[in-house]
Chains A and B, each alone.
Chain A
């Protein structure tokens, strides 16, 4: 079936089974490998992408539901000013170790800040709890998101 959506600002038309996981389209069809699979069941958040500006688990999203929507993966986000602020804050605070969860973390942090530009620490922890990290103990990521919120004030 022909499927249309926007990916990283560009219209995409692909011919795939609409029941497929959006994650497989992102990785195997569009070759956007910054989106990772950690659990395949929506628990870890390594696969989140932005759908109309909000983070969603691409491993649970059927391609059928993607039709007509706007998506951004880390490959698209990295061209933005918001990304620059986030990545700098992650670098400064040590928010990435093995890096496997990092693109998902950045996407989730962006989604959070776009809808809540001045989050408290508790809100960051609550809103990002669908993204697992086994390396950092989370504190550095929380600090990075709070720092990015402050530094990017007005941008979010």
Chain B
């Protein structure tokens, strides 16, 4: 038995199951005021005039004029104002907040405020590119000469809403030393801290951020809390009182960021022996009204656009388009679910058109160690993709079922996706930009405290990171504690994003623990801070998108079995079988939990979850009309891991948070294709779409 992998008690479980964990809305302060946002009702225009209602005593209005620092939310590209400044770019954009004690009065004020706009024609189509990226490998144009055939297809993916169970919310207050402090539903405490410093014009030692229990995030709380945090901070500073803003579901679904809808065009050059000579890929993402992190999302989408396959010639171009709609941003997978869906469907469609076995075609181009990546870097580490595929196929009886289900009229189908996910920040970003640090403190009783910034919003990293430390130090688990991030005591180990927590922060903790062990003096207080040093062979040029895109890759295979109802066009997902290479699993129960949950989100993205934006307005306003899977929709899931230790990972572990989502959509879409004998080129492949597809000939 591998002691390292054995499941250990989840640190935060007792307080959560007993209902004792304090989530944001469970926290309150004496004298606390509430904030209510006033939002734009037009998609694009100038704010001509704001007429405030008569303000009762104790009620206040805060807007762009009240920003003491810069009126921007500090995101990677900071173009989104904290409060709309003179103009609005989407329905729901924050114009200001009313703050006061009684929610009823705040509602009344919000209904009475009058805002005059000079409306402009909004843009809803993908016509105005505001971010453009491109890279090439080999020479696609030259390869054309050898091609006898060109195959082209177009793929579309829709919005996806994170639908964490706990809505967004932040409270800003003053701590026991009268220091401005924020707590709330968040992914990245240091992002909020820096955002508030920038918007409120404060210094590093003037803002503190503390993480409470967080009810799910999935990327949705990576940047948006910086916006809410800045807004409540403006009010809290002005009034010197605690201010709380917690969204309800309709506000959260309609106005917070979601996954980028995409439109991708794939073109393959085929020679006379049915070889794929190269791909031309054009990707368009709908970024909504503000750029935010969309440039990085586009990077990941493009880097992942040829998925786990290696082709000699690539011509890849992508754009993010401005539309006057709710901005899109981070969501588990971060651009790669869109293009991995497209690539997985495309290679399948190419095989069908060439009349060759899709499995053989995929095997032919599978990435191997040493291969040159899409960005002319290298796959430095061993790759066990073939083993993952073989294992998953065996678990699922794939080949037999595929054959049986291919008979017309049987209405069952099986589909397989293979995929990779680059862990950590793009290129050498971890060493060059993030500069992550962790800290271990040992007290006089030899109890060790772990300090790092990753927020545990369900993934279990309070448990897994602590486990890495206790195992490395050879201490019993109860002699080590993981402290929830508090920016006053925690070193900045970077955001909880990009599947970096285990591969980067875990690795740091392992090194830190090794150092602490070396200097260990029983009975003495000791402290060790470890800065990140990544693999020296990783080089990346963001401008040209050339080099090693990520410090390491995780790999996976999903096989999905479905049943199709020809009367209602509904799909039931019956079973799934998954295999993953995440280096080495840190804790089996937590890893399986990530695998199950990520896959169900990926499946939902593929066949169920649809968000409609009509004339700039999100039509889905609640969990009764934004449909996520229930207990009954979820399939039976089987998961296996293959060890492939990574040298720069804690005990060999790589990332897995996002990996488990990216294969769900193509696997379920390919299973549906198998069941209905027709091509799927759009997700969600919901019944309304399948009805359209069924109109076409087989």
**In the assembled complex, how far is the CB of residue A31 from the closest CB belonging to chain B, in whole angstroms?**
9
Q: Give the number of residues in A that approach B within 8 Å (Cβ atoms).
A: 50
Considering only residues 609-644 of chain B, those with a C-beta below 8 Å from chain A are 622-624, 628-632, 634, 636-637
State A133–B20 Cα separation when bound (angstroms).
19
Instruction: Please tell me if B213 contacts chain A, counting CB pairs below 8 Å.
Output: yes
Instruction: Please tell me if B19 contacts chain A, counting CB pairs below 8 Å.
Output: yes
Instruction: Please tell me if A98 contacts chain B, counting CB pairs below 8 Å.
Output: yes
Considering only residues 274-333 of chain B, those with a C-beta below 8 Å from chain A are none
**Chain B residues whose CB sits within 8 angstroms of the CB of A65 once the complex forms:** none
Q: Say which one of B70-78, B161-169, B394-402, B533-541 lies at the interface with A.
A: B161-169
Instruction: Please tell me if A97 contacts chain B, counting CB pairs below 8 Å.
Output: yes
Interface size class of B (residues with CB under 8 A): 35 or more
The answer to whether B19 touches A100 (Cβ under 8 A) is no
B576 closest partner in A (C-beta): A137
Instruction: Please tell me if A128 contacts chain B, counting CB pairs below 8 Å.
Output: yes
**In the assembled complex, how far is the CB of residue A21 from the closest CB belonging to chain B, in whole angstroms?**
12
The answer to whether A106 touches B17 (Cβ under 8 A) is yes
Considering only residues 3-51 of chain A, those with a C-beta below 8 Å from chain B are 32-44, 46
Known contacts A39-B249, A96-B16, A98-B457; A133/B10 CB under 8 A? no
A46, A94, A130, A131: which contacts B589 (Cβ < 8 A)?
A94
**In the assembled complex, how far is the CB of residue B148 from the closest CB belonging to chain A, in whole angstroms?**
45
**In the assembled complex, how far is the CB of residue B577 from the closest CB belonging to chain A, in whole angstroms?**
13
The answer to whether A102 touches B593 (Cβ under 8 A) is no
A100, A128, A130, A131 — most chain B CB neighbours (10 Å): A100
Instruction: Please tell me if A58 contacts chain B, counting CB pairs below 8 Å.
Output: no
The answer to whether A97 touches B249 (Cβ under 8 A) is no
A78, A133, A135 — most chain B CB neighbours (10 Å): A135
Known contacts A39-B249, A87-B18, A140-B593; A131/B623 CB under 8 A? no
**Chain B residues whose CB sits within 8 angstroms of the CB of A87 once the complex forms:** 14, 17-18
1/0 contact string of B449-461 vs chain A (CB within 8 Å): 0000000011110
B23, B165, B217, B599: which contacts A44 (Cβ < 8 A)?
B165
A99, A125, A137: which contacts B599 (Cβ < 8 A)?
A137
The answer to whether A96 touches B216 (Cβ under 8 A) is no
Instruction: Please tell me if A113 contacts chain B, counting CB pairs below 8 Å.
Output: no
B598 closest partner in A (C-beta): A137
Instruction: Please tell me if B248 contacts chain A, counting CB pairs below 8 Å.
Output: yes
**In the assembled complex, how far is the CB of residue A17 from the closest CB belonging to chain B, in whole angstroms?**
12
The answer to whether A139 touches B596 (Cβ under 8 A) is yes
The answer to whether A140 touches B16 (Cβ under 8 A) is no
A37, A102, A129: which contacts B17 (Cβ < 8 A)?
A102
The answer to whether B628 touches A138 (Cβ under 8 A) is no
The answer to whether B623 touches A99 (Cβ under 8 A) is no
1/0 contact string of A106-125 vs chain B (CB within 8 Å): 10000000000000000011
**Chain A residues whose CB sits within 8 angstroms of the CB of B597 once the complex forms:** 97, 134-137
State A100–B12 Cα separation when bound (angstroms).
12
- In the complex, the number of residue pairs spanning A and B with C-beta atoms less than 8 Å apart equals 161
The answer to whether A99 touches B215 (Cβ under 8 A) is yes
State A98–B15 Cα separation when bound (angstroms).
11
State A131–B12 Cα separation when bound (angstroms).
21
**In the assembled complex, how far is the CB of residue B603 from the closest CB belonging to chain A, in whole angstroms?**
9
Considering only residues 22-53 of chain B, those with a C-beta below 8 Å from chain A are 22-23, 25-26
State A96–B12 Cα separation when bound (angstroms).
10
The answer to whether B622 touches A134 (Cβ under 8 A) is no
Instruction: Please tell me if A73 contacts chain B, counting CB pairs below 8 Å.
Output: yes
Considering only residues 126-140 of chain B, those with a C-beta below 8 Å from chain A are none
B25, B165, B457, B598 — most chain A CB neighbours (10 Å): B165
B458, B598, B601, B624: which contacts A99 (Cβ < 8 A)?
B458
The answer to whether B632 touches A129 (Cβ under 8 A) is yes
**In the assembled complex, how far is the CB of residue B634 from the closest CB belonging to chain A, in whole angstroms?**
4
**Chain B residues whose CB sits within 8 angstroms of the CB of A142 once the complex forms:** 631
**Chain A residues whose CB sits within 8 angstroms of the CB of B164 once the complex forms:** 98, 100, 134
The answer to whether A91 touches B17 (Cβ under 8 A) is yes
The answer to whether A134 touches B18 (Cβ under 8 A) is no
The answer to whether A134 touches B218 (Cβ under 8 A) is yes
**In the assembled complex, how far is the CB of residue A145 from the closest CB belonging to chain B, in whole angstroms?**
10
Instruction: Please tell me if B592 contacts chain A, counting CB pairs below 8 Å.
Output: yes
The answer to whether B18 touches A34 (Cβ under 8 A) is yes
The answer to whether A134 touches B631 (Cβ under 8 A) is no
**Chain A residues whose CB sits within 8 angstroms of the CB of B595 once the complex forms:** 137
**Chain A residues whose CB sits within 8 angstroms of the CB of B23 once the complex forms:** 36, 100
Instruction: Please tell me if A75 contacts chain B, counting CB pairs below 8 Å.
Output: yes
State A88–B17 Cα separation when bound (angstroms).
10
Known contacts A38-B166, A91-B10; A137/B248 CB under 8 A? no
A33, A39, A131, A138: which contacts B19 (Cβ < 8 A)?
A33
Instruction: Please tell me if B416 contacts chain A, counting CB pairs below 8 Å.
Output: no
**Chain A residues whose CB sits within 8 angstroms of the CB of B630 once the complex forms:** 129-130, 132, 138
The answer to whether B17 touches A137 (Cβ under 8 A) is no
Known contacts A94-B10, A100-B165; A135/B599 CB under 8 A? no
Known contacts A100-B166, A125-B632; A44/B623 CB under 8 A? yes
**In the assembled complex, how far is the CB of residue A28 from the closest CB belonging to chain B, in whole angstroms?**
9
Interchain residue pairs with CB less than 8 A apart (18): A34-B20, A38-B167, A41-B622, A43-B622, A44-B623, A74-B18, A97-B458, A98-B166, A98-B217, A99-B215, A125-B634, A126-B631, A132-B623, A134-B601, A137-B637, A139-B596, A140-B596, A142-B631
Give A contacts to B, CB under 8 Å: 32-44, 46, 73-75, 78, 87, 90-91, 93-94, 96-103, 106, 124-126, 128-142
Give B contacts to A, CB under 8 Å: 7, 9-10, 12-23, 25-26, 162-167, 213-218, 248-249, 457-460, 589-590, 592-593, 595-601, 622-624, 628-632, 634, 636-637
The 9 closest A-B pairs by CB, nearest first: A34-B19, A99-B16, A100-B215, A98-B458, A137-B596, A97-B458, A74-B19, A137-B600, A43-B623
